[in-house]
Each structure stands twice: as C-alpha cells, then as structure tokens.
Amino acid sequence: MDRIFFGDNQFFGVNHMSEEKARQQLMRFQSIDAVADTLYAAYQAGVPGFMCTTHERITELTRIVKADPEKWADLRFYPGMPYAHKYANAVTELGYFEALKQFLPSGGLIDAALRGGKALVTGDVESVVTLLIDAEMKAFAGMETPIIFLQNVVTDLILGLGYFDAYRMFADHVRAKYGAEPGYFTMNLPRLLPALAAVGIENPIVCANVNKVAFRMSEGIDAYRAATQKHPARVIAMSVLASGAIPPREALEWVANEPYVASILFGASSRQNIDSTVRIIRELDAAKAAA
C-alpha cells in the first residue's frame, strides 16, 4: 500500500474549519483543467495514488486521464463510494427512474435492473449492494483501482444498525469482480475494527481522522491506540492537519510516529504545498528508518 495518498476534498470546497476557505477552493477549481493540473503536480511529486469520491467531476477527470495514458501511466485511482449527494441531486433533477438509468452500468442495464428489482422484492440485500458498487465503478472502467473504499456515510450507518454482514458483502464483491482490496472510511475507528473482525475481515484497510489534537477522532487518541493493538489494521490517516489547526511539520511528525498509521492522506491546492508536504513526510520516514 502507498505511504502517501492525495485526496480530493479541496476540489469540491470541503474544509471543516473555514467556510470562506472552502468557498475560495470551490471557485479556484471550477475548471476541470485546474483540477487535473493540481493532480498532476501531486503525481510529479511522487504521489501516484489519488483517493477520490465518485463525484460527477471525477468522471470528467477520468476522461482526461484516459485520453493521455502515457502522461498518467502510473496513476492509480482509489475510489470511495457512494457519493450520497450525487444520488440525491439526480433524483431531484431527473426523478427516480431516470436517475436509476443514469447510474446503472451500461453494459448490463437490463440484467442490473432485474437484479435490483428482484432484490428489492425478495429482500436480497447482497444483490442491491453489488448493483450499487457496479454503478459507482462504471466511471473507472479500464483504470487501475487497487483499493475500493466504502464511504463513511455508509460505513458508520451500517455500524449503527449493527448489520455487519454488509461489510463482508462489500469486501467479497470488490475482490471477486475488480481484483481490489476493500477499504473503509469511518468516523469511529474504535468501534469499526471489532465489527469488521466479527465478520472475518482481518487486518483491514481503514481511513480515519488521525491528528495530534484528536480533531474528529471518535473516543480520542487512546481509544485508537487500544483498538489497533487489539485488532491490527492498515490505517490511512486523514485530517492530519486538523483542517489547518496544527502547523504542517508538527502535525506530520506526530502522525508519522503513531505506530498503527500505515499511510497518510492529504489534500492541497498548490504545487508548493504539495511538494512541501511530500518532502516533510519523506524526511520524517528517512529519519525514523535511520534511527
């Protein structure tokens, strides 16, 4: 698994501390070319792993990448699904039936529709799950997607409902159909890890907030450490800067020394910030290896 991943929050105006900064980022990335240029800056900085939602603008980005395979030869997409706002907006604009047609995989529209209809009638949850995964993956056809993530809006809903078999259904399908590993975004790592273990998912890939001030870390830092000691996991740390509350070097030095953190996910809007973040992580890793 990559040590560093580049994320897409800045492209869609997501900032958990500043609405004004979020608005500025949204304006900056109105053009898909601006998005592609920033992603390429991360790629040139030695970060070929792009962790993204299935936002419709990511579909535009995949077209740009597919059109120039030599330029993007080593780029890997790590999609997270579902992008809930996309479905809600489509239903509002198109109605339920047209929205369904838009998101179903085009290669098997009739089969998928029949599977989905049967599933809804018989209560076959696994068929519904696989149908929705295939719909989300349509944009990434022909591209390398080593890990496919379940977004936290669903991961944590399942956790609350206690229907842990859904995690296994997701894992089984992405492994069998896409040759990918399953990953899980969560806002509650301490409770997710035992839930995954309960359905046989060992050493899972989990992306969660990890930062020095415990910003959006459910149950706190000690709970993360205890949970990962009991249930080992490959943790990808996100929100490491706590949305700008911690200076970059201080934040990265702390997270790089958390023993359960396998990888770091970051987002940035400029080449300078991308290069600086990557350089700091590499320096910290080199110093840790030499110690």
CA–CA separation, 237 vs 224, rounded Å?
11
With a cut of 60, say whether residue 144 has pLDDT above it. yes
Average pLDDT in the 2-15 region?
85
CA 227 to chain centre: 21
pLDDT over 70 for what percent of the chain?
Answer: 80
8 A C-beta contact, residue 224 and residue 249: no
- The confidence band for 22, taking pLDDT boundaries of 50, 70 and 90, is low
Higher pLDDT, 255 or 97: 255
Higher pLDDT, 18 or 69: 69
CA–CA separation, 281 vs 279, rounded Å?
6
Q: Radius of gyration (Cα) for the chain, nearest Å?
A: 19
Higher pLDDT, 53 or 243: 53
In this predicted structure, what is the pLDDT of residue 55? Answer: 85
Residue-wise pLDDT for 125-138, tens only, equals: 677 678 888 888 98
With a cut of 50, say whether residue 108 has pLDDT above it. no
Segments making up each domain of the chain, as ranges: 4-82+144-290
Average pLDDT in the 28-53 region?
94
Average pLDDT in the 101-111 region?
51
In this predicted structure, what is the pLDDT of residue 120? Answer: 47
**What's the DSSP call for residue 105?**
-
The four Cα atoms 23, 28, 30, 34 give a dihedral, to 10 degrees, of -150
With a cut of 50, say whether residue 107 has pLDDT above it. no
Average pLDDT in the 238-245 region?
90
In this predicted structure, what is the pLDDT of residue 244? Answer: 82
Q: 240 by DSSP, 3-state: which?
A: coil
Q: What number of helices (H) and strands (E) belong to the chain?
A: 13, 8
- The confidence band for 87, taking pLDDT boundaries of 50, 70 and 90, is low
Average pLDDT in the 167-173 region?
95
Question: How high does pLDDT run on average in the chain?
Answer: 87
In this predicted structure, what is the pLDDT of residue 93? Answer: 74
Q: 195 by DSSP, 3-state: which?
A: helix
In this predicted structure, what is the pLDDT of residue 251? Answer: 97
H or E element at residue 245: none
In this predicted structure, what is the pLDDT of residue 109? Answer: 43
CA–CA separation, 21 vs 15, rounded Å?
7
8 A C-beta contact, residue 166 and residue 202: no
CATH of span 4-82+144-290:
3.20.20.100
Phi, psi of 77 (to 5 degrees): -95, 140
CA atoms within 13 A on the CB side of 290: 6
- For the ranges 14-28, 79-93, 199-213, the lowest mean pLDDT is seen at 14-28
In this predicted structure, what is the pLDDT of residue 243? Answer: 80
Average pLDDT in the 50-71 region?
94
Average pLDDT in the 174-182 region?
97
Answering whether pTM is above 0.75, one says yes
